[in-house]
Amino acid sequence: MIAVAPDSARERYEVRLLDRRVVIEATEAGTANLFGMDLPTADTNAAMRRINRLARSAKTADDHRTLDQIRADILLDLLNGREPSQKHGAGAVVDIRVDLTTLAGPDDNPAEIPGWGPVIADVARQVVEEQDKAEWRITVTDGDTGRPIHVGTTRRRPTTIQRRKVEAAALTCVFPGCRMPARDCDIDHRKAWTDGGPTQEHNLVPLCRHHHRLKHRAWRLEKLVVGEYLWTSPLGLTYFVEAQPP
């Protein structure tokens, strides 16, 4: 149905989201059931996957609880602000399979969340947007057979170590005259990541949110050496910036 009528599917999905709610009911045995109704598909699936990972991590040989019981205990721990016991930390992650043309916008083909099923294009775009800090594993497939022909990984956001090195090289936003501390700035790609700019130190600079946006409005930035930058305005005027050393 999603592939045949994506607009209708989107409308039904958005209407049902308006009815999202949490419901509690008592059972005859005196226990309680807690239901989340009409929740966003991606977030709900991510939450369930996190609970599963935490439950498997918490399960030990001397723990006589079943995995279902551990999942239930973890759910209540999380909702009540208690730290669930676990061997490793694990953030919520969603696997998503989606056409590149759907992510870019021209198409509204349905995507798939493995283990859940098909989802509308808007949900797929939301998943990608909300996980821009994660490492992405890319599989390029043959358009006719669907078989993988290339795999790779990419990371849009700098690592903690990369960020610290960039902040050490420039203590403030590198736009002319700006004094916003680097630790409060965005770490921006000098050459845009979408244009093939790598997430590497030589291509990263600290820019406050205002000047980050301004840079994308026809300003050009060159990094001459570590700590020295050359800006060119839309009118062709140039500004040399030498960062304050640490």
Residues with Cβ within 8 Å of residue 181, at least 6 apart in sequence: 171, 172
pLDDT in the model for residue 176:
93
pLDDT in the model for residue 90:
46
pLDDT in the model for residue 22:
95
pLDDT in the model for residue 25:
92
Give residue limits of the domains in the chain: 6-79, 100-155, 160-242
pLDDT in the model for residue 190:
87
Structure token pair of residue 133: 């800090």
Going 110 to 113 to 116 to 122, the CA torsion angle's sign is negative
pLDDT in the model for residue 206:
92
pLDDT in the model for residue 80:
86
pLDDT in tens, 25-73: 988 988 899 999 999 988 898 899 899 989 988 888 888 899 999 999 9
pLDDT in the model for residue 88:
42
pLDDT in the model for residue 63:
87
pLDDT in the model for residue 67:
92
pLDDT in the model for residue 139:
72
pLDDT in the model for residue 175:
94
Q: List per-residue pLDDT tens for the chain, 246 residues long.
A: 677 788 888 899 899 999 999 999 988 988 899 999 999 988 898 899 899 989 988 888 888 899 999 999 999 999 988 877 544 444 555 577 888 788 777 788 888 877 677 888 888 887 777 665 566 666 767 667 777 776 666 666 777 888 888 888 888 999 999 999 998 898 988 888 767 778 888 889 999 989 988 888 889 999 888 788 999 999 999 999 988 766
